[in-house]
Amino acid sequence: MSIKFDYANLLKNKKIQCGVSIAEIENNRHLCDQARIRFEKEYAMNILGFHDLPDYNVEHIVSYIESIEKDYDDMVVLGIGGSALGNKAIYNSLKTVKKLNKRLFVMDNVDPLLIEDIMSQVDLQRTLFNVITKSGTTAETMSTFLIVLDILKKKCPDTYKKQIIVTTDKEKGFLRQLIKEDGYMDFIVPDSVGGRFSVLTDVGLVSSAFIGVDIKALLKGAANMRKRCSNKDIWQNPAYLNAMLHYLYMQKGKNMSVMMPYTNALYDFADWYRQLWAESLGKRYNIDGALVEVGQTPIKALGTTDQHSQIQLYAEGPNDKVISFLTVEKFDYDYKIANIFPNNDEVNYLADKNISELLLAERLATEIALTNAGRPNCNIIFPELNEYNIGEFIYLYELQTVIAGYFLDINPLDQPGVEAGKIATYALMGKKGFAEQAKEIHEYNQEKTRNGRII
C-alpha cells in the first residue's frame, strides 16, 4: 500500500484563513510546466541522477553483503551530511519493526565523546567500517577515518584491510588512490547524484543491506512514487502539489517548515529532511544571479513528546510555520493499556485500548488544535513502516525539494554556503593551499579580540 498525502489543512478554509486557495494553485500551474521543462533539461545534463535510482541494479551490494555477513555484527559509518543522515534514518526507521540483529553506528561528528561512545560499544574484530564521502576531502570524515585506521592497524593488523570499505567518487580523490594501494572494498557515489540526494545509492544501500533491510523493496517503493509523481495533474502528484503548497506558503511569509513524525522510528527522517530542505532551498542568489535570500527553515519535532514542549508555540506563537505530520497507520507491535484501576476515572478511560490508538488520537487531537488555531498543517500517512513506504517517502521528498527549488528559481543542487565553511576549516587547520584564507581568519580573530566584546 502506498503512502498518502492529506493536504486538506494546507488549503484555505474557514479555520485556516491564511491558507493557500485552490485558485492560487491553479493560477500557478504554469510553474509546474516550467519546472517539468527544467527537470528534463537538467536530467539530460546528468545532474538529477536520483531520478534513476529506483532502477538501480543492486546485485553487487547484495552479493558483497552475503559474502561478509557472517564475519561482522556491527557497521560503523564514517561520514557526514548526505553521507550519513540517510543511513541513520533508514536504520532507525526499521530496526524495531524488522527486529534487525546487526547494529549500525554513524560517526558523523568530530566529537571525541561520540567516537569514544561508538568505539567502546563495538567489538573491533567483528566490525566493518564504511567510510563514505563523495568528495573524498571532507575534514570530519577524513579525520575520523585516520583515527579508525590507526586503531585498526594496531589492533587488527591482519584483518584491517577487509574491515574498511570505502564509498566515494569513482575516480577522484585521495580515497580512490588509497583503494588502489590498500585494496579496500569500494563502492561508488555517482557523479550525477548530490550528497543529500544519495541515500538510494551505495551511500545508503550498503549499510542498509548490511543490517538486513530489503534494499530492493526500498527501490520498488521509490519507483512507485516516481510513477505517481510523473502525473501531470498537480492534484494527483504529491511531490508537485506539496512543493507548490510550500512555495506558496513561503510567499506568504511562512518561513518555517516543521516535520513532526508520530513515532520515534521516523524521527531521524525529519533530520534527513532538515538537510535536504535547508541545503537545497536556502540560497542567496537565483539562477540569474539576482539576490533573493530564499529558503524555509526546517524544524524537527516529535509527537507526542513535543506536544509538551513545542505545540504551545506552534498554536499560539507567530503564525509562520507549515507543519507536516508523519503518521503510521498500522504498527507491527502494540501494547494494551492494562485495566488496573477500573473505578478511577482519571485512568480508566485508557484501559483496554492499544497504545497505538492513543498515539493516533493524540496526533489527530494536535491536528485539530492547530487547525482551530488557524495553523496550516498536513499529514503524510504511512500505511505501515516498511521498506516500500520508506522508499516512497525518500523519492517523494527528493523530488519535491528539487521542484520547490525550481519554483523558487534557484539551484537546489548546490551548497555554496557549506563549501565556504569547509574552506574556512581547511584554513584553520593549516591545509596546504589555504594560506590566504588563514590570513583573513587571523585578522578576523585579532579584530574580535581588539573589540573586547567577550565578557
Residues that bind ligand PA5 (CB under 6 A): 80-83, 133-135, 138, 141, 194-196, 279, 415, 418
User: Would you say 167 or 389 has its CB closer to ligand PA5?
Assistant: 167
Closest contact distance (angstroms) between CB of 231 and ligand PA5 is 28
Question: Strand order of the sheet with strand 4-6?
Answer: 4-6, 377-384, 321-330, 256-261, 297-300
Closest contact distance (angstroms) between CB of 80 and ligand PA5 is 5
Query: Measured between alpha carbons, how far is 386 from 391 in angstroms, rounded to an integer?
Result: 9
Query: Measured between alpha carbons, how far is 244 from 334 in angstroms, rounded to an integer?
Result: 37
Closest contact distance (angstroms) between CB of 81 and ligand PA5 is 3
User: Taking Cα atoms as reference points, which of 276, 66, 81 lies closest to residue 189?
Assistant: 81
Closest contact distance (angstroms) between CB of 132 and ligand PA5 is 6
User: Would you say 103 or 172 has its CB closer to ligand PA5?
Assistant: 172
Closest contact distance (angstroms) between CB of 148 and ligand PA5 is 15
User: Would you say 80 or 178 has its CB closer to ligand PA5?
Assistant: 80
Looking at residue 16, its amino acid is: I
User: Would you say 136 or 376 has its CB closer to ligand PA5?
Assistant: 136
Query: Measured between alpha carbons, how far is 59 from 57 in angstroms, rounded to an integer?
Result: 6
Closest contact distance (angstroms) between CB of 136 and ligand PA5 is 7
Which among 279, 367, 392, 398 is annotated as catalytic?
A: 279
Block residue for cell numbers 503548497: 245
Closest contact distance (angstroms) between CB of 213 and ligand PA5 is 21
User: Taking Cα atoms as reference points, which of 211, 215, 222, 221 lies closest to residue 53?
Assistant: 222
Query: Residue 35 region, left (φ>0) first, then alpha (ψ -120 to 50), else beta?
Result: alpha
Closest contact distance (angstroms) between CB of 414 and ligand PA5 is 9
Task: Count other Cβ atoms within 10 Å, centred on residue 208.
Answer: 28
The answer to whether 329 and 263 are in contact (CB under 8 A) is: no
User: Would you say 161 or 422 has its CB closer to ligand PA5?
Assistant: 422
The answer to whether 293 and 281 are in contact (CB under 8 A) is: no
User: Would you say 396 or 413 has its CB closer to ligand PA5?
Assistant: 413
Query: Measured between alpha carbons, how far is 254 from 340 in angstroms, rounded to an integer?
Result: 46
- The helix, strand and coil proportions of the chain, stated in percent and rounded to the nearest 5, come to 55, 15, 35
Preceding peptide of 304 cis, ω within 30°: yes
User: Would you say 133 or 371 has its CB closer to ligand PA5?
Assistant: 133
User: Would you say 195 or 261 has its CB closer to ligand PA5?
Assistant: 195
Strands 256-261 and 321-330, bridge-based pairing: parallel
Block residue for cell numbers 577487509: 162
Task: Count other Cβ atoms within 10 Å, centred on residue 50.
Answer: 26
Is 279 considered catalytic here? Answer: yes
Which among 308, 346, 432, 436 is annotated as catalytic?
A: 308
Which among 4, 15, 422, 431 is annotated as catalytic?
A: 422
Query: Measured between alpha carbons, how far is 448 from 391 in angstroms, rounded to an integer?
Result: 48
Block residue for cell numbers 569513482: 170
The answer to whether 303 and 325 are in contact (CB under 8 A) is: yes
Which residue of the chain is nearest ligand PA5 when measured via CB?
195
Helix (H) or strand (E) holding 441: helix 435-451
Is 308 considered catalytic here? Answer: yes
> 267-287 burial by CB neighbour count: b if 16+ within 10 A, else e?
bbbbbbbbbbbbbbbbbeeee
Looking at the annotation, which residues are catalytic? 279, 308, 422
